[in-house]
A and B are shown apart, each in its own frame.
Chain A
Amino acid sequence: MATYSTNEFKGGLKIMLDSAPCSIIENEFVRPGKGPAFSRVKIRNLKTGRVIDRTFKSGETVEAADVMETEMAYLYADGEFWHFMNEESYEQYAADETAVGDASKWLKEQDKCTVTLWNGAPLSVDPPNFVELKVADTDPGLKGDTSGGGGKPATMETGAVVRVPLFVQIDEMVKIDTRTGEYASRVKG
Chain B
Amino acid sequence: MANTGTNDWPPTCSAALLHKRAELYKTIRSFFEQRSVLEVETPILSQATNADPNLASFPVGDSLYLQTSPEFPMKRLLATGSGSIYQITKSFRRSESGRFHNPEFTLLEWYRLDFGVQQLIDEVVDLLKHCFNLSLNIEVNTYSELFFNATDIDPHTAGVDELQQYASDKGSPEAVTICGRRHSDWLDYIFSQYIQPTLDKDTLYFVTDYPACMAMLAKLSDEDIPKAKRFEVYYRQLELANGYEELTDANIQRARFEADQLCRKGQGLEAVPMDQRLLAALEHGLPSCSGVALGLDRLLMSMTNASSIDEVLSFPIQRA
Contact = CB atoms under 8 A, between A and B. Distances in A.
Asked if chains A and B come from one complex, the reply is yes
Interface of A: 7, 28-38, 40, 53-60
Given A31-B101, A34-B216, 14 more contacts: A29-B96, A29-B98, A30-B98, A32-B191, A32-B192, A32-B196, A34-B52, A36-B185, A36-B188, A53-B171, A55-B178, A56-B174, A56-B177, A57-B178
A8 to B, nearest CB: 11
B178 A33 contact: no
B214 interface: yes
B317 to A, nearest CB: 11
A31 B54 CA distance: 9
A24 to B, nearest CB: 14
Nearest to A27: B98
A21 B13 CA distance: 37
B100 interface: yes
Nearest to B143: A33
Given A32-B196, A34-B188, A55 B97 contact: no
B151 interface: no
Interface string B196-226: 1000000000000000001010000000000
Nearest to B210: A33
Interface of B: 52, 54, 95-101, 171-172, 174-175, 177-179, 182, 184-185, 187-189, 191-193, 196, 214, 216, 232, 239, 242
Given A33-B239, A54-B174, A38 B98 contact: no
Contacts of A55: 172, 174-175, 178, 189, 193
Contact of A33 (B100, B177, B242): B242
B195 to A, nearest CB: 10
> Helix, strand, loop or mixed for chain B's interface?
mixed
B213 to A, nearest CB: 11
Given A35-B54, A55-B174, A29 B191 contact: no
Contact of B95 (A7, A34, A60): A7
Nearest to A53: B171
Contacts of B95: 7, 37, 58-59
A29 B101 contact: yes
Contact of A28 (B99, B171, B177, B214): B99
A37 B191 contact: no
Contacts of B171: 53
Contacts of A30: 98, 192
Contacts of A7: 95, 97
Given A32-B192, A33-B188, A55-B193, A38 B97 contact: no
A58 B192 CA distance: 15
Contacts of B185: 35-36
Contacts of B98: 28-30
Rank and list the top 10 A-B pairs by shortest CB-CB distance, nearest first: A35-B188, A29-B98, A32-B192, A32-B188, A57-B178, A33-B188, A38-B178, A35-B185, A36-B185, A36-B54
Nearest to A32: B192
Contacts of A35: 54, 179, 184-185, 187-189, 191-192
